[in-house]
Structures are given as structure tokens and as C-alpha cells.
Structure 1
Amino acid sequence: MKKIAVLTSGGDAPGMNAVIRAVVRKARFHNVDVVGVYHGYEGLYNGNFELLDIGSVGDIIQRGGTKLYSARFPEFKQDDIQYRAIERMKEEGIEGLVVIGGDGTYRGAMQLTDKGFPCVGIPGTIDNDVPGTEYTIGFDTALNTVVESIDKIRDTATSHENTFVIEVMGRDAGDIALWAGLAAGAESILIPEEAYDLDDIVTRLERGVARGKRHSIIIVAEGVMNGHKLANLLEERTGIKIRTSVLGHIQRGGSPSARDRVLAGRFGARAVELLLENKGGRAVGVKNHAIIDYDLRKAFETKHQADLSLYTLSKELSI
């Protein structure tokens, strides 16, 4: 291949810029041109392209968000839209495509591959919910943002003897809630992958009060329920005044962690190698610290599972 393209799609995640940088510089090392596609699949359809050189991706490795922007484009599910996108790329001499995002992004890449255009997927989402890889780009940074926020809220909870319910992102996955709750010493954690027991949460709160504890932190993943609803349920059961904090989109922003930057470099480089080896329809991931690649279809044939051993451990440590 002499020219490839790269795009970001779906929700932004810290480290996407670092992936873009890695793709461009790895490709240029092999004398391959890289076209940046702005606004995801919508830009692919509209031909919103720009040739990226080494300098155009300088000074972005530390920046959150995505230089190429992102957009929702549900129309891309249509065959005629996909064929037009392929025509656009061929008109530009583009021979392969690297996509950075989550399951929706992967689905578009798989459909393009099925139509004869080779694509490689890189997992970029704070939710850490892409099957086939242990970690996604952005998860580590978001996790550290959440832990730092919980630590600050705990300072206030301690000072005012309050109980806080903190709602975190994750869509239908509980990884952010689980890892952050364990790291920050939350008294209870609610995740979509495990049925919650309101009686158990109430018992933990009352047991803490009985031994003189005057503050508690409860983490709930957005895929379980709204944080305000959970706070109301607990207030009704315990009579304890409970405050709610919804962290929201602060979790998506910020400079990527060192771990996310290194992973981004490794993922981006491997994606380029796969295209140069004429291997389309692949996804890049990490398993046991090693970079792997696998069939894009496997991302839809399996379901991401949270590490429930961490959930058990969190309950044991928060007695």
C-alpha cells in the first residue's frame, strides 16, 4: 500500500490523538502516505480528507480528545452510503483504513471490509467494553480521573459526615465503576454485570454507622441506574441524608496517561503493519501485555465481561 486513511468515531477518549500520531509516523517510516478523515464516517462519506505529514501530528500526543473530530452518522448503515465512501477513498488513492473507536466504529469497518475495502480497528473508548482486548485506549486515563474525583469528594464527605452516591460512565459496562471503586475504597459498587442487592447496601451503611463511621462512598455505573434514583431509594430505607455527584463528561477529557500513550503507540503501529501485510478485517488488542490482532467479527460474536473477582474483592475489603 502507498496511501492509507485514519479516522476516529463515536465518543472521544484520551489517547486518540496519540494513536493518530502513531499511525501517521509509523506509515511515513515505511514511506506510506496517510490521509486524515475528519468527523468520522460522515467525513468519509463526504470526502472530508486531509493529507497528514509528520509535522501535522506533532504536539498532539499529550492532548485529549481527537484532532480529527468525531460525529454520529447512523446513515452509514446503508449499503449505498458505504459504497459511496469506498468510491471517495479510491478516488483519493486510499487503499486501506484505520478506524479508532468502539463497537459502532468496528461495525462500520467490518461492513467496509465485507465490501472489499480493507480496514483495521483500534479500540478507543473509556468504557473498556470492546471484546477481544483487555484494555481500550482512554480507559486508564478516565479511571484515574474518576479516582481523583472520588478522593476529592471523600474529603468533603469526611468533613461534613456525608454519604455520597457517585455516578460514573461506562454505558453498559461496569469497568470504570468497578476499578475506580476498588481503587478509591468505595463502600459499595453497583455494576451492570452483577445484580445489586439494596438490602446489602443498606446493611453496609447501617453497620458503618453502628461502628462510628460518619461518611460513605457508593459508586454506581450509569448502566445500572441514575445516581439520584439510587440516592432516593437509600434515603427512604435508611433515613440518612445522601448526596449525589454525577461526574459526567469530565471522564472523557484530559491529557492521556503514560499507559494510554504507550498503548496508543503500540496499537497504531500494529494497525499500520497489518495493512502493509494486506490483512484487512482485523482488530488490534492487548492480552497479557502482548499486542494481538484478531478477526473484527469476534468483537460482535462475544460479549465483554468485567473481572468479577475484583467485585468480590471490593466487597471483602469494604467490610
Structure 2
Amino acid sequence: MKRIAVMTSGGDAPGMNAAVRAVVRKGIYHGLEVYGIKRGFAGLIIGEMEKMELSSVADIIHRGGTILRTARCDEFKDPEVQKKAVELLREKGIDGIIVIGGDGSFMGARALSNLGIPTIGIPGTIDNDIPSTDYSIGFDTAVNTAIDAINKIRDTATSHERTFVVEVMGRNAGDIALASGLAGGAESILIPEEEVSLEEVVKRLLQGSKRGKLHSIIVVAEGVASGNDVGEYIKGKTGFDTRVIVLGHVQRGGAPSSFDRILASRLAAKAVDLLLDNEAGKMVGLINNNVVATEIKEALSQKHEIDKEMLELARILSI
């Protein structure tokens, strides 16, 4: 193993730059040449890469987004395109690749490993929907962004005695909604993993109103319903002054939290070690605060699970 490459793929996540920095510096520390592939698999298939030096990753650990840029590339699902990418990598002397991204990126990483290019995946997605790790890079920062917004919304909700519906991201996972809803004291949390009827949400709102509650926060994961639809339903059933806030892509931006910077650095360092040990087709993750490696095939075969105890706690504390 003399020359490796690193890429960021799929949706950007705060902490990706910290991971790129750790890959480059850990690799150079061990005498490797490290190349950065621009724009994920879209850049890989056209050979868009450059050699990274220590100075290439200076002053990026605190920056959101990714200096390598990122893109989605459906074209890479084609086996013929994958084979051409492998030929290109071999021409450039790349001995191994580290892919930072979500489940779609891991599928691409697995394909490269199956074709003979040792590849390691690092989970980087705000959705936190990757099995075999307690946390993915970017999740903590996204939750803190959502909580900050909920805190501000609660101030105006209190002042105007309003009900606010806050729609957060997460694709088909409810982790952001659950964590930000619990930390933000939401009255109801709607997530894809747990069926909750809007009738029940309305019932809780009316019960709260009867005991003198003048404002409420409802957190909705984008994968379960539209915040606007939920808001219209609540307003129609209760007559309450109801407003809707869709946080959207603001949750992807901003400086990564200290947790995400440390997580990214630990996972990236382990990924380099795995390549040096001639490991391939694996992902790194954090389980019970230990950095572990899991076969990508095994991780992708598992179903993402929500923390049911946390969900129950959120329900109890919002009575």
C-alpha cells in the first residue's frame, strides 16, 4: 500500500472536512501518497483527482461542507462504468480508496472492493441511518442546528401563543427529529419508524390547552409527512394559530461540533489503518465509544433501528 485516495460522496455533512484532513495526515504520517478525488464517484469516473499535501488540509477541521466537493452519481451503478473506474485507478497507481458518505456511497465502495480495489467506508451523513455505528459524521451538528432553531421558535411561540410545526431532515430515518424533539422539549414527535396518528397529536394539543398551555412545538421528520400538511390538519381540527417552519438544508451547513470533529478524526484514522493492514470492503463505525470495523455487505444488509427507549422517554416528558 503506497498510494491511496479519499473522496466524499452523496449529501454533504459537517465533519467531512475533518475526516479528509485525518485521512491525508494519517496517510502521510505512515509514508503514503494521498490523492483527493473531486466530486465523489462522478469525479472518479473521469479521473478528477489531485495529490494532497499536509498544507492541502490546513485550516479545514472547523469548516462545514467538503473541500473535495460532492455529487450523486447514478451512472456509477452501471457495472461497465465501475470497471472503467477501476482501470483508471490502476492506471494512476491507486492502491486503496476511502469513501466518506452514506449507504449509496457504501454500495459504490463495495463495488470497487469486489473489483479488486481495497476500499473502506466512513459513515458521513446527517441522517444517522447507517447500521453498524451509533453515530455518523454530521448527525450531532445537524441536531444542534435543529435544537438552536427550536429554541428560537419556542420564544416566539410563547410570545404569540402559537403552535409551531417544525419539519426536520433525515430522509427515511427519524433520528434528527427524535433527538432534537427530545432535547427541544417538543410536545409531539412524528417519525417514520413509529406510527402516530395526527388525531393523537391533536388530542394531546387539546389536552394541553385545557390545562392552560398556550403554545406547542411539533417536530416532524421529512420521511413521515410534510410539515405543511401537518400544520394544515392541526389548524383545521383545533383552530389554533399554527405556523410551519421547514428547516431544510440549513441543517447540513455550519461548523461541525466538537463531537463530529473528534468522531471524524477517529474513524478516518482507523480507515487508514485498515488499508495498511490490507483490509477491504469494510466500514468503520463507533459502537459504545469504540471504533470498530464491519463488513460493508453486512452493514447494508441490516435495518436501521430507532432508539425506542428514547422515543418513549420523549412521550413521557411531553405530557
Confirm whether residue 208 of structure 1 aligns to residue 208 of structure 2.
yes
In structure 1, the residue matched to 2:41 is: 41
Q: Quick one: which amino acid aligns to residue 65 of structure 2?
A: G
Aligned residues: 319
In structure 1, the residue matched to 2:4 is: 4
Secondary structure of the 1:297 match is helix
In structure 1, the residue matched to 2:101 is: 101
User: Counterparts in 2 of 1:272-291, with a 5 A limit?
Assistant: 272-291=272-291
CA positional deviation for 1:237: 1.4
In structure 2, the residue matched to 1:293 is: 293
Deviation string, structure 1 residues 134-189 (Cα, Å, up to 9, x no partner)? 10000000010000000000001011110000000000000000000000000000
Secondary structure of the 2:45 match is helix
Identity %: 55
Off by >2 Å, runs of 4+ in structure 1: none
CA positional deviation for 1:117: 1.1
User: Counterparts in 2 of 1:115-264, with a 5 A limit?
Assistant: 115-264=115-264
CA positional deviation for 1:241: 2.2
Question: Is the CA contact 2:45–2:84 (under 8 Å) kept in the aligned structure 1?
Answer: yes
Mapped to 2, the partners of 1:56 and 1:199 lie a distance apart of: 54
CA positional deviation for 1:75: 0.6
User: Counterparts in 2 of 1:262-273, with a 5 A limit?
Assistant: 262-273=262-273
CA positional deviation for 1:197: 2.0
In structure 1, the residue matched to 2:51 is: 51
Provide TM-score, normalisation by structure 1: 0.99
Confirm whether residue 16 of structure 1 aligns to residue 16 of structure 2.
yes
Mapped to 2, the partners of 1:310 and 1:89 lie a distance apart of: 45
Q: Quick one: which amino acid aligns to residue 139 of structure 1?
A: F
In structure 2, the residue matched to 1:318 is: 318
Question: Is the CA contact 1:162–1:242 (under 8 Å) kept in the aligned structure 2?
Answer: yes
Deviation string, structure 1 residues 250-307 (Cα, Å, up to 9, x no partner)? 0000000000000111000000000000001010001000000010001221111110
Q: Quick one: which amino acid aligns to residue 174 of structure 1?
A: G
Q: Quick one: which amino acid aligns to residue 127 of structure 2?
A: D
Mapped to 2, the partners of 1:110 and 1:208 lie a distance apart of: 50
Q: Quick one: which amino acid aligns to residue 98 of structure 1?
A: I
Deviation string, structure 1 residues 175-214 (Cα, Å, up to 9, x no partner)? 0000000000000000000001222211111111111111
Mapped to 1, the partners of 2:42 and 2:228 lie a distance apart of: 36
Secondary structure of the 1:84 match is helix
Provide TM-score, normalisation by structure 2: 0.99
In structure 1, the residue matched to 2:113 is: 113
More off after superposition, 187-196 vs 110-119: 110-119
Mapped to 2, the partners of 1:174 and 1:82 lie a distance apart of: 32
Secondary structure of the 1:244 match is strand
Secondary structure of the 1:223 match is coil
Structure 1 unaligned regions, length at least 5: none
Question: Is the CA contact 2:198–2:230 (under 8 Å) kept in the aligned structure 1?
Answer: no
Structure 2 unaligned regions, length at least 5: none
Question: Is the CA contact 1:97–1:118 (under 8 Å) kept in the aligned structure 2?
Answer: yes
